[in-house]
């Protein structure tokens, strides 16, 4: 029985040596995993050189599949190959090849020879499905590789301490920074198992002494999940405490550090502005009213205290972070895929949103751009109302959006959180990023959703 062959080639405006080095760095595999797939790395040894191995488990419907591949045919600066040792295919060989296309460009080629299990029946039922999956997967992988490399900062590699590395943004940020050539120190609330981990406990003010010493930058993401349960009095206290205490612990440690970082990038949120209707909001706009506004203001006050230490401080007011790997979009997808999606309440409330990849790019920009200080709105320029968001998501999924969720039902189900997080709206503009010349990868919602959900196999 003959092998099936899948191949994709893309031109990247970076030298071949730089593109190959990107693939050799820690974090490259995680960076290339599409966010709509459930993939976990169980073990990894030897990198991409001959003899290296990676063992994964992947979610396929209700079941988990174990997949082990070995690396071979490594040629420095040119190619390496993955061969399935155990997994879902009867045969799988994947060649990664990078060929120069002049001094400042190269072509990236992925060529896969595979054979399906199940003989003729397996080919009949699985052939088109597998080819569609591969087309979507490698359209995404090539886009990530090209954009990450072509947008890479020309600055020197940095040593960056990061909190909240187990959260939605942190899990994506660490491999992004690593493939950009930076060294990451993870600040963790449990005993670190990895060499790059440092213990901290913001509740008690503990932080391992070497964690910040000699680091070039700190990215502070840690904070209790806003959407994890109803906002009882105890839960609201925990949400506020986790942000205030964590940020205060960092700033206190910075004050005691002799060779301290030059920049602190601290997360905040557009919840700072509250429910403002159709008012256009920029970084100089006043804070709103409500629990989220108070939390964001307190969070930012603690972070800005680092400015007195000579540390450039950036507070990123992020909108709804879109990724199928978690957060709001992941919760909406099952409902919309079932054809039961629709607007929330009136649907007139504005939504400031940003894709996970664009948020990573904004963090990277904040780390290196001295012009960015104080509050910075981390939202895409294409803000939409909730009704338009719902219709666009349904269109991308080829589903109807006929089932609005009435406001009274939301209030019963979510209490105060419904009023402030689901029914409130703010028309936020990324003014300071625009003034700095920052370009978003995905400024328009439809394109962003198609990219993140693997709906652009020909892109």
**Using CA atoms, how far apart are residues 343 and 346, in angstroms rounded to an integer?**
7
**Cβ contacts of residue 271 below 8 Å, gap of 6+?**
290, 292, 293, 295, 296, 420, 421
Give residue 94's domain range: 4-150
pLDDT in tens, 283-301: 999 999 999 999 999 999 9
Q: Is residue 457 included in any domain, yes or no?
A: no
Q: Is residue 458 included in any domain, yes or no?
A: no
Mark whether 10 and 66 lie in a shared domain.
yes
What pLDDT is stored for residue 459 in this prediction? 45
Mark whether 285 and 195 lie in a shared domain.
yes
Q: What angle do CA 171, 357, 28 make, to 5 degrees?
A: 60
Q: What angle do CA 156, 160, 162 make, to 5 degrees?
A: 155
Q: At residue 187, does pLDDT exceed 90? A: yes
pLDDT in tens, 338-379: 999 999 999 999 999 999 999 999 999 999 999 999 999 999
pTM beyond 0.75, yes or no: yes
Mark whether 51 and 177 lie in a shared domain.
no
What pLDDT is stored for residue 229 in this prediction? 79
What pLDDT is stored for residue 228 in this prediction? 81
What pLDDT is stored for residue 1 in this prediction? 66
pLDDT in tens, 401-417: 999 999 998 888 788 88
Q: What is the mean pLDDT of residues 439-448?
A: 95
Pick from 107, 132, 150: which residue ends a domain?
A: 150
Q: What residues pair up with 376 in beta bridges, in sequence order?
A: 316
% of residues, the chain, pLDDT over 90: 82
Q: At residue 449, does pLDDT exceed 50? A: yes
Joined tokens for residue 371: 């012009």
Mark whether 116 and 180 lie in a shared domain.
no
What pLDDT is stored for residue 119 in this prediction? 76
Q: How many separate domains does the chain show?
A: 2
Mark whether 236 and 137 lie in a shared domain.
no
Q: Is residue 71 included in any domain, yes or no?
A: yes
Mark whether 88 and 201 lie in a shared domain.
no
Comparison of pLDDT for 122 and 21, the residue scoring more: 21
Query: H helices within 57-185, ranges in order?
Result: 119-150, 168-179
**Using CA atoms, how far apart are residues 207 and 137, in angstroms rounded to an integer?**
40
Q: What is the mean pLDDT of residues 301-320?
A: 97
Confidence of residue 190 (pLDDT cuts 50, 70, 90): confident
What pLDDT is stored for residue 419 in this prediction? 86
Q: What is the mean pLDDT of residues 154-160?
A: 89
What pLDDT is stored for residue 62 in this prediction? 83
The H or E element that residue 23 is part of is helix 16-24
CATH number at residue 16: 3.30.530.20
Average per-residue pLDDT for the chain = 93
Q: At residue 458, does pLDDT exceed 50? A: no
Distances (CA, A) of 300 to 11, 240, 267, 362: 42, 12, 8, 18
What pLDDT is stored for residue 66 in this prediction? 95
pLDDT in tens, 33-67: 999 999 999 999 999 999 999 999 998 878 899 99
Q: At residue 456, does pLDDT exceed 90? A: no
**Using CA atoms, how far apart are residues 60 and 64, in angstroms rounded to an integer?**
6
Pick from 150, 180, 204: which residue ends a domain?
A: 150
């Amino acid at each position: 029985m003959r092998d099936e062959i899948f191949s994709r080639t893309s031109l990247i405006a970076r030298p071949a040596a730089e593109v190959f080095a990107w693939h050799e760095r820690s974090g490259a595999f995680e960076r290339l995993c599409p966010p709509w797939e459930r993939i976990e790395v169980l073990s990894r040894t030897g990198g991409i050189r001959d003899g290296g191995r990676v063992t994964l488990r992947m979610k396929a419907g209700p079941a988990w599949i174990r997949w082990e591949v070995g690396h071979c045919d490594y040629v420095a600066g040119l190619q390496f190959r993955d061969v399935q040792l155990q997994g879902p295919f009867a045969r799988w060989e994947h060649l990664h090849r990078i060929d120069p296309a002049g001094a400042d460009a190269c072509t990236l080629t992925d060529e896969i020879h595979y054979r399906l299990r199940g003989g003729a029946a397996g080919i009949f039922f699985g052939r088109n499905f597998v080819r569609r999956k591969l087309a979507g997967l490698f359209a995404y992988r090539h886009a990530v590789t090209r954009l990450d490399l072509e947008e890479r900062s020309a600055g020197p590699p940095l040593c960056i301490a990061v909190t909240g590395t187990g959260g939605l943004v942190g899990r994506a940020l660490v491999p992004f920074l690593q493939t950009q050539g930076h060294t990451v120190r993870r600040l963790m609330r449990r005993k670190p198992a990895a060499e790059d981990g440092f213990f901290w406990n913001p509740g008690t003010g503990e932080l391992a002494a070497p964690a910040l010493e000699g680091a070039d930058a700190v990215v502070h993401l840690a904070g209790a999940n806003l959407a994890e349960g109803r906002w009882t009095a105890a839960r609201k206290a925990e949400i506020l405490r986790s942000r205030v205490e964590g940020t205060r612990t960092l700033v206190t440690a910075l004050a005691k550090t002799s060779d301290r970082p030059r920049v602190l990038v601290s997360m905040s949120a557009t919840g700072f502005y509250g429910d403002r209707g159709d008012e256009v909001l920029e970084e100089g706009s006043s804070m709103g009213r409500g629990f989220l506004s108070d939390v964001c203001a307190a969070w930012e006050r603690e972070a800005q205290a680092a400015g007195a230490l000579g540390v450039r401080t950036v507070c990123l007011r992020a909108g709804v972070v879109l990724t199928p790997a978690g957060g709001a979009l992941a919760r909406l997808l099952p409902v919309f895929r079932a054809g039961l999606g629709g607007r929330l309440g009136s649907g007139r409330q504005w939504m400031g949103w940003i894709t996970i990849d664009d948020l990573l790019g904004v963090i990277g920009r904040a780390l290196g751009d001295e012009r960015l200080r104080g509050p910075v709105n981390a939202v895409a320029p294409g803000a939409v109302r909730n009704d338009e968001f719902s219709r666009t998501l349904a269109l991308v999924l080829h589903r109807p959006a006929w089932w609005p969720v009435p406001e009274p039902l939301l209030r019963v189900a979510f209490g105060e959180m419904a009023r402030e997080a689901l029914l409130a709206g703010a028309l936020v503009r990324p003014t300071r990023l625009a003034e700095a010349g920052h370009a978003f990868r995905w400024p328009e919602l439809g394109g962003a959703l198609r990219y993140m959900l693997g709906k652009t196999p020909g892109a």
